[in-house]
A and B are shown apart, each in its own frame.
Chain A
Amino acid sequence: MKQYHHRGNLRNRIILAAFLLAAVLLISVYYRNPKSSFIQNLKKATINGLAYIQVGANKVFSPVQNGWIFVIELANSKQENVHLKKELSGLKERLNDLSVIEAENRRLRGLVQVTVKKQYKTIMAISISSSSNNWEASIIIDKGSSKGVKERMPVISKEGLLGQVVNAGSFASQVQLITDTKSGVAAEIVGRNVKGLLQGTYDNKLEMTLVRKIRKVKKGDRVVTSGLGGVYPRGLYIGRVREAKSPATALYKYIRVESEVNFNNLQEMLVIKSPLPPNIESLK
């Protein structure tokens, strides 16, 4: 019996070693060739599959989500607010349909204005799912390569820059948001000739790095894309400087940027097809 137990332990360890080895091999293969078509095709197929299911889930669970959001908001709001909401609920019901249409109109009008102003060729998309990984900031949109969406295309909303397409499946695509910690956006501060790199943080905020301490930056300054880096065209609005300081121990300035985008509730957006800055890799 004891011998059997030992054999079982050995078997378990061999299985563990085999799976760990397989995982290490996968990591190694991926880092040697991140654009491996096999892995990319698998990722795209998964995104497409999940998008199909998500569309159905959205229909079923949207009311539940609204309820959940309400519960969370309730915990943070004052009791007075709840009473007022109850009084207004009758009126809200009557106005609900109208306000939904009005809000949608406003969003779409905003998107159209962005398009006209910048003369971009765009594809309109809707967010159907957000990242399930707590350490990543991404969304899945309902447009894929069949509608012309490609990897590295920037994604914007009327409030500002959202991110870039990282995986374009045939029916759906994955967008890495600028709040992701591994996202890097070449940015500049308007009117100050200050350029830097905008990165996301774990609390979904934005920080601008690589700005020298001698540069003058003030709260409220506008931050836009600089066009460097080969992904985002120059001049896309990102947000405003919320905080700028020069810590004694740091090499660079600490600049906190606030976006007007509500990254927790993304809806309609535009994928910019063209004109895009030249791709650095293609220039090589």
Chain B
Amino acid sequence: MMRFVFYFIVIISAFILHNTVGAFFKLGKVVPDVTLIALVSIALIENQAAGASSGFLAGLLKDLISLRGFGVNAFTHTLIGYVAGIIEASIISNILAFMLLVFGFTILSNFFYMMVAFLVSYQIDYLFWWYALIAAFYNALISPLVYLPVVYAYNKLLTRSSVTGATAYAKSSKIVGGGKK
């Protein structure tokens, strides 16, 4: 239960940051997707179930301020969270690898978005992928600023509360090359 509260708080906080502070750091029209980075962080630290549920919440929040339908982001982000959850956190040996993963997941997220958008007849042109690429680079660049606080909070709040938490702590310690002993 405590873990779900943690996901909820992280995703809500990331969403608020994304929609308030994020707008101040626009690169052209590209806003850093703090919500997506937080989602990938949770999914990597935990598992597919955590990824899917956090993804659903993150997508639902995005849908609430979207001009395009309702549920599209919930669908794509659930998939992203699940796929990210499949990856073993222990594989990620350093922060650079995490940045690469965020790059990949931003592209994947846009691909899913494009697929669903195609089904509900949104127009997509070549510029979509150009901006998707810029967004992927930008997200990768700022991802440590989101990931490290999430891992820190996770270690602080959850590692002593459950066996699963302890396992994840061990994983996340590997990710950031140390952590709390």
Instruction: Answer yes or no: are A and B bound together in one complex.
Output: yes
Contact A65 B65 (CB under 8 A): no
Q: How many whole Å from A144's CB to the nearest CB in chain B?
A: 15
Contact A54 B20 (CB under 8 A): yes
Q: How many whole Å from B138's CB to the nearest CB in chain A?
A: 10
Contact B66 A23 (CB under 8 A): no
Is A106 an interface residue, CB under 8 A from the partner? no
Is A74 an interface residue, CB under 8 A from the partner? no
When distances are taken between beta carbons in the complex, the residues of chain B under 8 Å from A181 are 122-123
Complexed CA–CA distance, A30 and B48 (Å): 27
Is A202 an interface residue, CB under 8 A from the partner? yes
Identify the A interface with B (CB < 8 A). Answer: 8, 11-12, 15-16, 19-20, 22-31, 34, 39, 42-43, 46-47, 50, 53-54, 57, 61-62, 64-65, 68, 72, 129-138, 166, 174, 176, 180-182, 201-204, 264
- How many A-B pairs fall under 8 Å by CB? 147
Is B18 an interface residue, CB under 8 A from the partner? yes
When distances are taken between beta carbons in the complex, the residues of chain A under 8 Å from B127 are 201-203
Contact B18 A132 (CB under 8 A): yes
Sort chain B's interface into a size bin: 35 or more
When distances are taken between beta carbons in the complex, the residues of chain A under 8 Å from B63 are 26
Complexed CA–CA distance, A201 and B29 (Å): 12
Contact B18 A12 (CB under 8 A): no
Is B141 an interface residue, CB under 8 A from the partner? no
Contact B82 A12 (CB under 8 A): yes
Given contacts A42-B64, A54-B20, A129-B23, A20 and B47 within 8 Å (CB-CB): no
9 cross-chain pairs, A with B, having the tightest CB-CB distances, nearest first: A26-B71, A202-B127, A23-B75, A27-B71, A30-B70, A65-B24, A12-B48, A23-B74, A57-B20
Q: How many whole Å from A197's CB to the nearest CB in chain B?
A: 13
Complexed CA–CA distance, A176 and B67 (Å): 8
In the complex, which of the residues B22, B70, B82, B132 contacts A16, with contact meaning CB atoms closer than 8 Å?
B82
Complexed CA–CA distance, A11 and B49 (Å): 8
Given contacts A24-B75, A132-B18, A182-B67, A72 and B27 within 8 Å (CB-CB): yes
The winner among A23, A29, A203 for most chain B CB atoms within 10 A is A23
Is B69 an interface residue, CB under 8 A from the partner? yes
Is B128 an interface residue, CB under 8 A from the partner? yes
Contact A133 B66 (CB under 8 A): yes
0 or 1 for each of B58-94: is its CB under 8 Å from A? (1 = yes): 0111111111111110110011001001000000000
Is B97 an interface residue, CB under 8 A from the partner? no
- Which secondary structure dominates where chain A touches chain B? helix
Is B172 an interface residue, CB under 8 A from the partner? no
Given contacts A11-B49, A16-B48, A19-B78, A135 and B128 within 8 Å (CB-CB): yes
Complexed CA–CA distance, A162 and B85 (Å): 42
Given contacts A19-B52, A19-B55, A46-B65, A202 and B128 within 8 Å (CB-CB): yes
When distances are taken between beta carbons in the complex, the residues of chain A under 8 Å from B67 are 136, 138, 166, 174, 176, 180, 182
When distances are taken between beta carbons in the complex, the residues of chain B under 8 Å from A29 are 70-71
Contact A27 B55 (CB under 8 A): no
Contact B64 A24 (CB under 8 A): no
Given contacts A65-B24, A135-B113, A47 and B65 within 8 Å (CB-CB): yes
Contact A264 B64 (CB under 8 A): no
Is B135 an interface residue, CB under 8 A from the partner? yes
Q: Which residue of B lies closest to A183 (CB)?
A: B67
Contact A23 B71 (CB under 8 A): yes
When distances are taken between beta carbons in the complex, the residues of chain A under 8 Å from B159 are none
> Could you list 11 examples of A-B contacts with CB < 8 Å?
A12-B52, A15-B48, A20-B75, A23-B75, A25-B71, A28-B71, A134-B131, A134-B135, A136-B68, A203-B131, A204-B29
